[in-house]
Amino acid sequence: MREITYRQALNEALAEEIERDPNVFLMGEEVAEYNGAYKVSQGLLDRFGPTRIIDTPISENGFAGLGIGAAMVGLRPIVEFMTFSFSFVAFDQIVNNAPNMLTMSGGQFNVPITFRGPNGPAHQLGATHSHATECLYANVPGLKICTPATPRDAKGLLKTAVRDNNPVLVLECELFYSHKGLVEPEDEELLIPLGEAETKREGSDVTIISYAQTVPMALAAAENLAEEKINAEVIDLRSIKPLDWPRVFRSVTKTHRVVIAEQDRPFCGIGAEIAYRIQREIFDELDAPIMRVSQEDVPMPYNERLEKAVLPNTEKIIAAVKKIC
């Protein structure tokens, strides 16, 4: 294992998949000559040339649709959105074309495309640039969604996404690009299956279900709670769809208490579905109501103090745990 950044991990995943399969190419705004708005594609143009690393105009609907059309006839595009907040101008392509094609064609046309880019609130970007889109896209049958929180998961999940035969959204964490973490050596193939959560910390008193930005918050909360003799188990979902229900249910069956820490908004958020499934499947295992920590249900304010009030954080997770432990 060696320590690399989340950004470097994504860069390695891109390079390895583009190298491996001539049908894979990367397309998006500023991915080539500018080396990526967040430098995720640094060096790829030099290495693979302009037929594989393709700059587009600011035209998300157009190039998302172009990618889907190319995927219908056998290419495996990786389409970068500069942020998933900009994916909304391509919403029709992502929601109506990519995931419907296989069903509408009676199984004749699958769409092996990867949409990737930063997702979720960053820092003081205001309402238009701060969307956590996972709950919106998770509502669409035919899409798969993963949310890597570590460099290792970023590399392993992105590589798997590129090889998947369906449209996959890789929702990266804008704030994590410079985070470091341990990843297998470059010569070792790293593929992490979609739909496999990871238990980041074993515990017995409460399960904190987290993903993406809330993973480090949940881990910090767990450390803090340990000092007060509350032993929290922390799960990183890693994939939102498919979701690793067996791991969730096993953990709750052990701890009997649940706090869901999600980076999206509360109404119809990811946590709403998880809470529903837990009560449906293992109602008798619950010793307390399921708690959720999410954003507040408001457009994101620019002001730093107000933004902090909107977002989930470690303190809010600790408070939620203490209400039920």
Partner 1 sequence: MPRPEQRDEVEMLAMMLLIRRFEERASQQYQAQKIGGFCHLYIGQEAVVAGAVAAARPDDYLVTAYRDHAHALARGTSADACMAELFGKATGCSRGLGGSMHFFDKENHMYGGHAIVGAHVPLAAGMAFASKYRKEDRVTLCFFGDGAINQGGFHEALNLAGLFKLPVIFICENNFFAMGTSVKRSTSLEHVVDRAEGYDIPGEIVDGMNFREVRDKLSEIIVSIRKDPHPAFVEARTYRYRGHSMSDPASYRTKEELEKFRLDDPITRLRAQLTREGKLSNEQFGEIDKRAKEEALASVRFAEKSAQPPLEDLYKYTYLNGVEVDVSARNSSPSAGTAGKQERAGDTAAP
Residues found near partner 1 in the complex (CB under 8 A): 20-21, 23, 25, 51, 56-57, 59, 61-77, 89, 92-93, 96-97, 101-110, 112, 141-142, 144, 160, 163-166, 242, 245, 280
Q: Cβ closer to partner 1: 146 or 219?
A: 146
8 three-state secondary structure: helix
Q: Are 240 and 145 in contact (CB under 8 A)?
A: yes
Among 47, 44, 37, 55, CA closest to 11: 44
Residue 61's identity, in one-letter code, is N
200 vs 321: CA distance, rounded Å: 17
159 vs 168: CA distance, rounded Å: 11
Shortest CB 51 distance to partner 1, Å: 7
Shortest CB 211 distance to partner 1, Å: 19
123 has catalytic annotation: no
Q: Are 100 and 72 in contact (CB under 8 A)?
A: no
Q: Cβ closer to partner 1: 191 or 298?
A: 191
208 vs 129: CA distance, rounded Å: 28
| Catalytic residue from among 129, 198, 256, 296 | 129
Across-strand partners of 119? 173
Residue 289's identity, in one-letter code, is P
Q: What phi, psi does 201 have (nearest 5°)? A: -155, 130
Across-strand partners of 77? 25
Structure letter (DSSP) for residue 219: H
Is beta strand 76-80 parallel, antiparallel or unpaired with respect to 114-119? parallel
78 three-state secondary structure: strand
Shortest CB 237 distance to partner 1, Å: 15
Shortest CB 89 distance to partner 1, Å: 8
Q: Cβ closer to partner 1: 59 or 178?
A: 59
Shortest CB 286 distance to partner 1, Å: 18
Q: Cβ closer to partner 1: 246 or 299?
A: 246
Q: Cβ closer to partner 1: 144 or 257?
A: 144
| Catalytic residue from among 16, 29, 60, 174 | 60
60 has catalytic annotation: yes
Q: Which two tokens stand for residue 178?
A: 């410079």
Catalytic residues: 60, 129
